[in-house]
Chain A
Amino acid sequence: MKYDIVVIGGGPAGLAAAVEANKNGIKNILVLERDRELGGILQQCIHNGFGLHIFKEELTGPEYAERFMDELKELNIEYKLNTMVIDISEDKVITAVSPTDGIISIQAKAVILAMGCRERTRGAISIPGSRPAGILSAGTAQRYLNMEGYMVGKKVVIVGSGDIGLIMARRMTLEGAEVKAVVELMPFSGGLNRNIVQCLDDFDIPLMLGHTITEIRNGNRVTGVSVSKVDENLKVVEGTTFDIECDTILFSVGLIPENELSLKAGVELSEVTNGAVVNESMETSVPGIFACGNVLHVHDLVDYVTEESRKAGRFAVKYVKGEINGDKENVIDTKPLNGISYIVPQKLRTAYLDDNVSLYMRVRNVYEKATFVIKADGEIIKEIKKTHLAPGEMERLSIKTDLIKNRNISELTVEVVEEVK
C-alpha cells in the first residue's frame, strides 16, 4: 500500500491534521486508529468546555470529536479502525496489524504522529503496597463510567489534582459517590482553575495541597489511606498523618506522550516534554515525519491541539509537494529561561514562518502579575504582561514574524519576570 500522508491516531490531533491536509490539496491520505471508533480520548470526556477558541461555543468532548469525524467522512478521507501501528521505519514504511487485514505494510511520503499520551500510574509515582481492587487511574475510571457504564466505587480519594482527577471528582459525585478529598503533593493544583471551581468548590470537595498519601490500607479491596503533609522539599512532615476511609483511589498524576513509535522511526525526543523536538512546521528531526497533539506535548485545551495539528497537516502537504527544501535557511533555536519549563516548537526556520509565530509553553510556578520577556539574541523584542500564570495552564505567546525574520537571529529566549510585590 502507498499513501502520500499517513496519520497515526484518529483522535483530535489526527483528525484535524488529516482534514487540513486534505483541504490543502493532498487527497491520498490514510488515518490509522487502534480503537473501534474515531475520536480518541474525547469520546470519554463527556464534560463541556471544549471548542471555545475553534468554534466559539462550548461543546462536550464527543460533540467536538464528531464535528471533525463528520468532516473527515464528508471529505472521503480513508481510515482504518482496530488497526494498531507496531513499527515506523526512518524511510516511512509503516507496519500495522488488524483483525481484518492481518499484518500490513504501508509506504508513506509523509507521516503525521498523533498517538496522544497515556496516564502515569501508581507505579510511576512509586507508592508501595499490595495490589487490592479499587485502585485505578482517573482516565480509566472515566472510560468505565462514561462509556461502559460501570461505577468504580462509593467512597473515593483522588490523588493528584490534574484536570482528569478534578473532572472525575465531580463526575463521581454526580453519580452518587462520596469524594472524600483530592490530595495534591505540590502547593498548587496541576489542573485548570475553572475545574477547581466547578468540580471541587461547587460540591465542597476538599483540595489538600501540599499533602501526599503515605499508606494504602486494604484487604481484597482498598479500605483507606493515610495522608500526610509535606514540607517545601516535598518530604513528609512527621506527626501530620491522618486517615481517610475509602474504597477507591483514583490517580491523576500526569500524562506521558506515547512515543515508542517515534523512537523506532529515529525521531529525537525532548527530555522535558517527552515528545518530539519539532520545528515551526511541527516537523520532527526526521524530515517528513510530523508530530502534533498530546504525543508532542501534553495539552490542557483541545483547541490548541487542533490549531497545532492543522499546522502539521498543512506542512505535511508542503513536504509531499516538495515545497520544503531543507534547513539551509536561518534556523532560530527557542530556549526557555527563568520560570519556563519548555517551549514548543524548539526550532524556527524563518523561511517557513507564517505572519505570526505561536510559541506554546508552560511556566514552572504559580505567578501573580508577571511579564513574559521575549528576547532575540539577548535583545528584548516583546513583553507580555499576565495577571495569573500556573504550570497547569499552557501559555501560547504570539509574536510577529517581522520581529525575527531577516535579522540572522540564532536564539529566541522567553523568561518570566515577576513583578515585585
Chain B
Amino acid sequence: METKKLTCIVCPLGCHVEITKNDGTFNVTGNKCPRGEKYAIEEMTNPTRVVPTTVVIKNASLSRLPVKTSKPVPKKDIFKVMELINQVEVEAPIKTGDIVIENILGLNVNIVATRSMKSVI
C-alpha cells in the first residue's frame, strides 16, 4: 500500500487530496470533483502539465507571442518541449489557436498561439 498527499492543480481551488494505491487500484479522498480523482491517479502514474511560454514574433507590435501546449505533456518532457519551442520564429499576423508547431516530439500535442497579433507593416 502506498499513500500520497497531493494538492490538486486542475483548478485554482487547490483541493488537498489523498491517494492510496492498493493492489493496482486507487482510492482518492478529499477531492471536490471527479477531475480531482483523475488528477491524483495521473500524478501517481504519469504526471502531465500544460506548458505556457512564448516564441519570437516578427512584424508585430511586441517581440514575443504567447503560446501553449494544446494538451498537457508528460512532466519529464517539459524541457525538451521548451528547447524546440525556443527555436521557432513566427511572423504576424497571427490568430489565437494558430498552430505554431505541429505534433511536438510526436506527443500528439500542438503548440498553439494564445493571442492574436496584427501585422504592423
Is A198 engaged at the interface, CB distance under 8 Å to the other chain?
yes
Please provide the chain A residues from 246 to 296 with a CB less than 8 Å away from any CB of chain B in the complex.
none
By the criterion CB–CB under 8 Å, are B52 and A66 in contact?
no
How many Å from the CB of A351 to the closest CB on chain B?
33
Whole-angstrom distance from the CB of B104 to the nearest CB of chain A?
15
- Quote the shortest CB–CB distance from B114 to chain A (angstroms): 4
Whether a CB of chain B sits under 8 angstroms from the CB of A23 is no
A46 contacts the other chain (CB 8 A): yes
One of B50, B61, B115 near A62 (C-beta < 8 A):
B115
Q: Given A66-B96, A192-B14, are A48 and B53 also a contact pair (CB < 8 Å)?
A: no
Alpha-carbon separation in the docked complex, A58 to B39 (Å)? 15
Interface size on B, residues (CB 8 A): 30
Complex partner residue of A197 from B7, B11, B56, B62, CB under 8 angstroms = B7
A 47-82 to B, binary, CB cutoff 8 A, 1 in contact else 0:
111001000001110110110000000000000000
Across-interface contacts of B62 in A (CB, < 8 A): 147-149
Q: Is the CB of A63 within 8 A of B96?
A: yes
Give min CB distance, A1 to chain B, whole Å.
27
Q: Is the CB of A197 within 8 A of B9?
A: yes
Q: How far is the CB of A220 from chain B (nearest CB, A)?
A: 26
Asked if B9 and A48 sit within 8 Å, CB to CB, the answer is no
In contact, A60 and B9 (Cβ under 8 angstroms): no
A60 to B111, CA, bound (A): 13
Q: Is residue A205 within 8 Å, beta carbon to beta carbon, of the partner chain?
A: no
A198 touches B49 (CB 8 A): yes
Other-chain contact of B12, A37, A149, A192 (Cβ < 8 Å): A192
Nearest residue, chain B, Cβ from A393: B14
CA distance A193 to B50 in the complex (A): 17
User: Is B61 within 8 A of A196, CB to CB?
Assistant: no
Quick one: closest A residue to B57, CB to CB? A149
Q: Cβ of B9 and Cβ of A46 under 8 Å apart? A: no
Query: B52 contacts which chain A residues (CB < 8 A)?
Result: 46-48, 60
- CB within 8 Å of B: which of A21-60? 36-37, 43, 46-49, 52, 58-60
Interchain nearest-CB distance for A199 vs B (Å): 10
Q: Which among A47, A58, A66 is the interface contact of B115 at CB below 8 angstroms? A: A66
8 Å CB interface, A312-371 against B: none
Whether, in the assembled complex, A174 has its beta carbon less than 8 Å from a beta carbon of chain B, the answer is yes
Report Cα–Cα, A145/B63, bound state, in Å.
10
| List of B residues within 8 angstroms of A388 by Cβ | 14, 16
Whether A387 lies near B66 (C-beta < 8 A) is: no
* Contact yes or no, B53 A198, CB < 8 A: no
A379 at the interface (CB under 8 A from B): no
Proximity bits, A194-215, B CB within 8 Å = 1, else 0:
1011100010000000000000
Taking a contact as CB atoms under 8 Å apart, the answer to whether B115 and A196 are in contact is no
A66 / chain B contacts, CB cutoff of 8 Å: 96, 115-116
CB of B78 closer than 8 Å to a CB of A: yes
Give the contacts of B57-100 with A (CB-CB under 8 A).
61-64, 66, 68, 75, 78-79, 82, 96
Judging by beta carbons under 8 Å apart, are A46 and B50 in contact?
no
Q: Which residues of A contact B64 (CB under 8 A)?
A: 146-149
Query: How many whole Å from A58's CB to the nearest CB in chain B?
Result: 7
With a cutoff of 8 Å between Cβ atoms, the chain A residues found around residue B61 in the complex are: 36-37
- In the complex, are the beta carbons of B49 and A62 less than 8 A apart? no
Q: Which residue of A lies closest to B30 (CB)?
A: A387
Q: From A46, A171, A175, A388, name the one whose CB has the most chain B CB atoms within 10 angstroms.
A: A46
Give residues 370-421 of A contacting B (CB, 8 Å): 387-388, 393
Per-position binary interface string of chain B over residues 6-19, scored 1 when its CB falls under 8 Å from any chain A CB and 0 otherwise: 11110110101000
CB contacts (< 8 Å) of A46 on chain B: these are 52-54, 66, 68, 114
Cβ contacts under 8 Å, B66 to chain A: 46, 60, 62, 146
In the complex, chain A residues whose CB is within 8 Å of the CB of B75: 202
B12 touching A202, Cβ below 8 Å: no
Q: In the complex, what's the smallest C-beta–C-beta distance from A297 to chain B, in angstroms?
A: 17
How distant is the Cα of A247 from the Cα of B52 in the complex, in angstroms? 25
Contact check, A387 vs B63: say whether CB atoms are below 8 A apart.
no
29 pairs from A and B in contact (CB 8 Å cutoff): A46-B52, A46-B66, A46-B68, A47-B52, A48-B50, A48-B52, A48-B68, A49-B11, A49-B12, A52-B11, A60-B52, A62-B96, A63-B96, A63-B114, A147-B63, A148-B63, A149-B54, A149-B62, A174-B78, A174-B82, A193-B9, A193-B14, A193-B16, A194-B9, A194-B12, A197-B6, A198-B9, A301-B12, A387-B30
12 additional contacts, CB 8 Å, given A192-B14, A301-B12?
A: A46-B52, A52-B12, A146-B54, A147-B62, A147-B64, A171-B53, A174-B51, A193-B7, A193-B16, A194-B12, A197-B7, A393-B14
B residues whose Cβ falls under 8 Å from a Cβ of A: 6-9, 11-12, 14, 16, 30, 49-54, 56, 61-64, 66, 68, 75, 78-79, 82, 96, 114-116
Interface residues of A (CB under 8 A from B): 36-37, 43, 46-49, 52, 58-60, 62-63, 65-66, 145-149, 171, 174-175, 192-194, 196-198, 202, 300-301, 387-388, 393
